[in-house]
């Protein structure tokens, strides 16, 4: 335990200087919290009744404050009128601040981190006029994997989800399996993937809609994981992968699968020449997010495209009219540059153990976008060995969970 505390402190120290968003409100009492997570939220002043809710799950080495305004979600929430819930990992749970998508006890329904996030959603619904039919979840990297966990474990709670550089549900059930999964070495038949989702909740559907984003040159989470996630959800939704509509999203490729009514049930965005991170468009008008580690300027705003997919754009839709939706070419993500509020707790000094991020997104300076520190750090192999060492010390004398 002492080693874990030291590692957590080191990871905090190698984070960015102060400057995380100060518009988030901390919520302490939201249930039993078996996953030991923190809860943050942002509620626009002009929240409609009933209001949509979007759950945002940050990536490894990030905090909740790195995944609101920095990627464009906070500005969209203010302009389009929906609440944000931002769970946050703690260093004592995982030194790299990853959500534990690879631990069986954290991804099962009514257990661990999955239950903690479900309890946060319930707290939001108790405090605010949340529309139960318009609750969504999305995330980056480990947050993207955890978004798929929530869709699988609680399909009755979420209408749709989005995974950016994520992984299919139950790709790994222990730390030992996680590396092979991230490298794209886990290959199952579509029916087998789908059965894992069905077993997670014990339900027969209906199933949430899903948008999957992946960089074609992602060196942290192999693009093969996007294919496996597509196979998992296409089989679950009864869709044929060879029956998609294909179109351009700026320089990137978007594929969509619709049901008989024309509604988009599943989509995939293949990001050309892209490494690991969330697409932002800070130079657009209005701007979308800020460039930085794990925030890539790719000529498209992922937050806006996902919000449109969720049907959150005022006067818009989720593609059910047969149109291809927004192409993001004008960057109109509904955000205002530099829009910040003064509500909530000031969380910019990192004293709560969260890690900010501010610096170059050059892959040479940030060799491990998924699990390393923002900026120069020990690199993917070195940090992964540290984490493995910490885990081995924790599990010494105990049986390691099997896949």
Residues annotated catalytic, as ranges: 141
Sheet strands (E) in 66-174: 83-88, 130-140, 160-164
Q: Judge whether 328 and 300 are in contact, CB under 8 Å.
A: yes
Alpha-carbon distance of 122 to 120, in angstroms, equals 5
Q: What are phi and psi of 83, to 5 degrees?
A: -85, 155
Alpha-carbon distance of 266 to 259, in angstroms, equals 9
Q: What are phi and psi of 125, to 5 degrees?
A: -70, -30
Token pair 């108790």 is at which residue?
126
User: How far is residue 112 from each of residues 16, 18, 146, 286, measured CA to CA in Å?
Assistant: 29, 30, 12, 39
Token pair 């954290």 is at which residue?
106
131, HSE (Cβ side, Cα atoms, 13 Å)? 17
What stretch of H or E contains 40?
A: strand 38-42
Cα dihedral 102, 104, 108, 110 in deg (nearest 10): -110
180, HSE (Cβ side, Cα atoms, 13 Å)? 12
């Amino acid at each position: 335990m002492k080693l874990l505390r030291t590692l957590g402190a080191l990871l905090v120290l190698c984070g960015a200087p102060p400057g995380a968003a100060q518009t988030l409100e901390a919520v302490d009492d939201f249930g039993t919290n078996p996953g030991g997570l923190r809860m943050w939220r942002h509620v626009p002043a002009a929240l409609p009744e009933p209001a949509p809710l979007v759950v945002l799950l940050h990536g490894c080495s990030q905090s909740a404050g790195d995944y609101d305004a920095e990627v464009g979600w906070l500005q969209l929430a203010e302009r389009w009128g929906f609440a944000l819930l931002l769970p946050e990992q703690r260093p004592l749970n995982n030194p790299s601040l990853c959500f534990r998508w690879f631990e069986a006890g954290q991804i099962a329904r009514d257990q661990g981190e999955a239950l903690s996030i479900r309890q946060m959603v319930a707290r939001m619904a108790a405090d605010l006029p949340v529309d139960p039919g318009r609750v969504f979840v999305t995330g980056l990297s480990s947050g993207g994997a955890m978004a798929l966990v929530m869709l699988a474990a609680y399909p009755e709670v979420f209408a749709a989800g989005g995974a950016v550089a994520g992984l299919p549900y139950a790709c790994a059930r222990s730390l030992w399996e996680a590396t092979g999964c991230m490298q794209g070495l886990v290959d199952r038949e579509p029916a087998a993937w789908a059965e894992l989702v069905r077993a997670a909740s014990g339900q027969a559907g209906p199933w949430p809609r899903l948008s999957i984003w992946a960089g074609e040159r992602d060196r942290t989470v192999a693009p093969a994981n996007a294919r496996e996630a597509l196979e998992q959800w296409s089989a679950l939704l009864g869709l044929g992968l060879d029956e998609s509509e294909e179109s351009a999203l700026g320089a990137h490729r978007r594929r969509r699968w619709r049901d008989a009514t024309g509604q988009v049930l599943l989509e995939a965005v293949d990001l050309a020449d892209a490494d690991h991170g969330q697409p932002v468009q800070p130079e657009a008008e209005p701007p979308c997010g800020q460039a930085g580690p794990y925030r890539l300027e790719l000529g498209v705003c992922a937050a806006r495209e996902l919000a449109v997919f969720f049907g959150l754009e005022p006067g818009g839709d989720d593609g059910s009219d047969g149109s291809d939706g927004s192409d993001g070419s004008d960057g109109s993500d509904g955000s205002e540059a530099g829009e910040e509020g003064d509500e909530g707790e000031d969380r910019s000094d990192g004293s709560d153990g969260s890690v900010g991020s501010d610096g170059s997104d050059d892959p040479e300076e940030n060799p491990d976008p998924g699990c390393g520190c923002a900026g120069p750090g020990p690199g993917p192999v070195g940090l992964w060995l540290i984490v493995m060492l910490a885990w081995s010390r924790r599990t010494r004398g105990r049986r390691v969970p099997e896949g």
